[in-house]
Structure 1
Amino acid sequence: MPRPRPRRLQHIQGIGVDQMGNLADASDRDYLRLENLDVDIPPDPDAVAYTEQALHLDGCNSYLPFTGKAHLRDVAAKHVTQISGVEYSGERNCTIAAGGLSGILNVLLATIEEGDEVIITDPIYRGLINRVLLAGGVPKFVPFTFQPGGEWKLDGHALRSAITDRTTAMLLMSPSMPTGGYFDQDDWHLVSELCVSHDLLLILDSAMERLVFDNRPIVHPASFPGMAERTVTVGSSAKELRMIGWRVGWIVAPEALMGDIAAVSMANVVVPVGIAQEAVAIALERSAVTMPQYVTELQARRDLIVEELAGLPVAVPAGGWSLLIRVSDFGIDGDTASKRLLDQGICATSMAGWGGAQAGQYIRFVFSNEPLDRLRGIGAKVRRALGVL
């Protein structure tokens, strides 16, 4: 008899990306790789050079300090201070994680009880849902909505209605993954109003917060009245710094929460990758200079795909690395669309499980890993897959 599955895993689902990637890797066909959140734009060369040096430094081959290198903690705290306007200290308000998602799980484990409801948007990255579940929380979905050819909009009424006496936190991301949905000033004002009035914690996944298009402002919720003491910011080297393989993230939070967060971090991974931390600090310090050209390239890719798919039920992302197409308009689900797209040379992931019951009606295209010249002509391939040519 097989061993029973632990209760905490009963609702854990895969994200589908690995399955599509394995199919593409096993084929000799030159697929457009739109399934995975990789990036073809290299990291800051200074950060790469320091990583090579760090291989030979004894201080980088160490368990200590458990909460992360002091310089990186200072740089991360300063970074969040500059964006939010809230004063943070590397010593008092920051601990380093083995990647952003590890940081999210550590924060959830340190702050919520089993059975607590955690509000997240819908659609949303399946990995965030899984981490809420692993921590014993109950995901409470609030929809992002769109009209074809338009942007995602937060359903403010649904957000208000989602809060119950079991709700203890919101886990939000802007731009959100996989939608590219963006929280504007009014959205964050509503979030802050509800968090303060209901005494909720806000866990901010800031992995893409500066990857915004069309000159949108970057709005940090900790800047709103009453939010500095209840906002936990989790950042990552992966998306903004293009340092996926370095596996470094940071958690910046009110001092009152840091003891528990640090304790969970040490009980979980002990310490993030030593040879990577200083390199990430260098890249983060220099990112104000290196970011604009990178964002410009991402926006150009978004614009090209949106133009190629004009007239189809596409939701236009305000930022990030990906966009969604609502394939249910053609009488199929995301899994079926994914198979048809493979026949057209496109590897893309169904969003089944990436939110509530409606998530499976979408397919996701990631545009961070394919240059403009390879993306041209995608519209005809998609239309053939959807049977609209």
Structure 2
Amino acid sequence: MVRPNSRFTHVQPFDIDKVAAAAGADPDVLRMENLDTDVPPPPAAVAATTESLRAGTGNSWLPFTGLPVLCEAVAADLRSRTGLDFDPLRQVAVTSGGTSAVLPTLLATTEPGDPVVLTDPTYAGLLQRVRLSGARPHLVPLRVEGGRWRLDRDALAAVPAAAALLLMSPSMPSGVVLDRDDWAAVARLCERTGAYLIYDAAMERLVFDGRPRVNPCQVDGLAERTIIIGSVSKEYRMIGWRIGWVAGPPDVMARIMVATVYNTTVAGGFQQHGAAAALTDPAGGGVAEAAAEYQARHDTVIAQLDGFPVVRADGGWSCLVDAEALGLGAGELSARLLDRGRIAATPMTAWGATVAPRYVRLVFSNEPVERLSELRARFTAALP
């Protein structure tokens, strides 16, 4: 008999792998269930990784918190985004992907039972890691206004206590982009509660329609409280490299580095050289071009589903369709889309509490516009 463990009492499993397994390898299925992408990574990153493999420069356990070349590249990138100087040795730690930084950061900033504020919906990998850390999620809803997601600032202002806020912008799975007034509301809550802001910046530059990008460190009161998590997976399309980082104030970073080292020892050295090349690529790593391609795909999805209860994203790789507005549960809609429409799409069961579970996510990062142009016909075939 398995011994009980309270950390797992409320942890919910992913459904992505189940949907992917059900879809199999059928080439006719639109693969909209997982955050893969067919947009290639930067050639400079591929070349640097290949050269590191050839030369054997990354085959080491050391340094535990990241190669200096990558830590320096991260610090320079953060300077351009935030206007702040980060010490590459004391304020940057390299991790095995961005989400691998989340649990060490939570362990360093919370005690068991502490409330951590997230949005509803949010990425399941963030929400469930809060639970695994022993902290307690406090979910603040996103609301649909004018066909787009907006943060419920009144609900945010009503949060009584928090050890940390764990936020993403653009956020998975909704594609909401937090504006300066949203971040100002976050700053007020952090000031009132003494909370850290843990900011997942993995998609920060993947915004649509020329919307302004606001890094929270640029907002009064947040720079000294913000811990930034980044990676090369989304902006640079380097999912398989599994390289991320965490950066923040030196005092808390000392604890985060300890937790990171004892969690994974070290991230892959060959991949770190590739990540450094992406961050320092004179061509910009193709980020702007990728963002434009994702917007074209998003806009195709929205046009194809005109009249359906789909919510526009302001950035990122995915958007959400309201299953309950179609008279179905999210799981039932997901099953119908696959069985009748040949669309693999994931129900948001583990991605929130009251808002997320009514939605199904449509990922547009791994399907070209030509195939997404079949979406309306496939949806029509799937629905009664």
TM-score interval, smaller chain: over 0.9
Equivalent residue letter for 2:364: F
Structure 1 position 39 matched with structure 2 position 37? yes
- Counterpart-to-counterpart distance in 2, 1:103 and 1:263: 12
Residue matched to 1:243: 238
Equivalent residue letter for 1:67: T
1:233 to 220, 228, 231: 228
**1:191-228 deviations in whole A, cap 9, x for unaligned?**
11221232110000011011000111111111222222
Equivalent residue letter for 2:319: L
- Counterpart-to-counterpart distance in 2, 1:247 and 1:330: 38
Taking the TM superposition and a 5 Å limit, the aligned residue runs for 1:345-356 are 345-356=342-353
- Counterpart-to-counterpart distance in 2, 1:339 and 1:281: 41
- Counterpart-to-counterpart distance in 2, 1:109 and 1:58: 34
Residue matched to 2:50: 52
Structure 1 position 275 matched with structure 2 position 270? yes
- Counterpart-to-counterpart distance in 2, 1:95 and 1:181: 27
Three-state SS of the structure 2 residue aligned to 1:275 is: helix
- What is the count of residue pairs matched by the alignment? 382
Three-state SS of the structure 1 residue aligned to 2:148 is: coil
Residue matched to 1:329: 325
- Counterpart-to-counterpart distance in 1, 2:34 and 2:112: 32
Structure-1-length-normalised TM-score: 0.95
CA contact (8 A) 1:84 1:219 kept: no
Q: CA RMSD in A?
A: 1.3
Q: For structure 2, which runs of at least 5 residues remain unmatched after alignment?
A: none
- Counterpart-to-counterpart distance in 2, 1:122 and 1:335: 18
The percent identity for this pair of structures is 43
Q: Following TM superposition, by how much is the alpha carbon of 1:91 offset from its aligned partner in structure 2, in angstroms?
A: 1.7
- Counterpart-to-counterpart distance in 2, 1:365 and 1:386: 16
- Counterpart-to-counterpart distance in 1, 2:377 and 2:174: 22
2:200 to 197, 201, 205: 205
Residue matched to 2:313: 317
Three-state SS of the structure 2 residue aligned to 1:251 is: strand
2:78 to 77, 80, 84: 80
Residue matched to 1:13: 12
- Counterpart-to-counterpart distance in 2, 1:124 and 1:132: 12
Three-state SS of the structure 1 residue aligned to 2:350 is: coil
Three-state SS of the structure 2 residue aligned to 1:357 is: coil
Equivalent residue letter for 1:307: A
Q: 1:28 to 1:311 in 2, by over 3 A?
A: closer
- Counterpart-to-counterpart distance in 1, 2:236 and 2:23: 26
Residue matched to 1:134: 132
Structure 1 position 384 matched with structure 2 position 381? yes
Q: Following TM superposition, by how much is the alpha carbon of 1:29 offset from its aligned partner in structure 2, in angstroms?
A: 5.4
Three-state SS of the structure 2 residue aligned to 1:55 is: helix
CA contact (8 A) 2:169 2:200 kept: yes
- Counterpart-to-counterpart distance in 1, 2:21 and 2:53: 31
Structure 1 position 61 matched with structure 2 position 56? no
CA contact (8 A) 2:180 2:219 kept: no
Q: Following TM superposition, by how much is the alpha carbon of 1:133 offset from its aligned partner in structure 2, in angstroms?
A: 0.8
Residue matched to 1:91: 89
Three-state SS of the structure 1 residue aligned to 2:69 is: helix
- Counterpart-to-counterpart distance in 2, 1:58 and 1:381: 49
Three-state SS of the structure 2 residue aligned to 1:63 is: coil
Structure 1 position 301 matched with structure 2 position 302? no
**1:28-82 deviations in whole A, cap 9, x for unaligned?**
4520000010000110011111111111334311011011000100111111121
- Counterpart-to-counterpart distance in 1, 2:381 and 2:160: 43
Three-state SS of the structure 2 residue aligned to 1:152 is: strand
Equivalent residue letter for 1:123: P
Residue matched to 1:284: 279
Structure 1 position 176 matched with structure 2 position 171? yes
Q: Following TM superposition, by how much is the alpha carbon of 1:289 offset from its aligned partner in structure 2, in angstroms?
A: 5.5
The range that moved more, 349-358 or 93-102, is 349-358
Residue matched to 1:185: 180
The range that moved more, 63-72 or 149-158, is 149-158
Q: Following TM superposition, by how much is the alpha carbon of 1:384 offset from its aligned partner in structure 2, in angstroms?
A: 3.0
Q: 1:29 to 1:95 in 2, by over 3 A?
A: closer
Three-state SS of the structure 2 residue aligned to 1:257 is: helix
Q: Following TM superposition, by how much is the alpha carbon of 1:124 offset from its aligned partner in structure 2, in angstroms?
A: 0.9
- Counterpart-to-counterpart distance in 2, 1:163 and 1:225: 21
Three-state SS of the structure 2 residue aligned to 1:133 is: helix
Residue matched to 1:364: 361
Three-state SS of the structure 2 residue aligned to 1:18 is: helix
- Counterpart-to-counterpart distance in 2, 1:344 and 1:185: 40
**1:269-326 deviations in whole A, cap 9, x for unaligned?**
0000111001101112226352111111000001111011111111100000000000
Equivalent residue letter for 2:332: T
1:101 to 89, 99, 102: 99
Structure 1 position 3 matched with structure 2 position 2? yes
- Counterpart-to-counterpart distance in 1, 2:21 and 2:380: 25
The range that moved more, 230-239 or 52-61, is 52-61
Equivalent residue letter for 1:111: T
Off by >4 Å, runs of 4+ in structure 1? none
CA contact (8 A) 1:350 1:360 kept: yes
Q: 1:198 to 1:28 in 2, by over 3 A?
A: closer
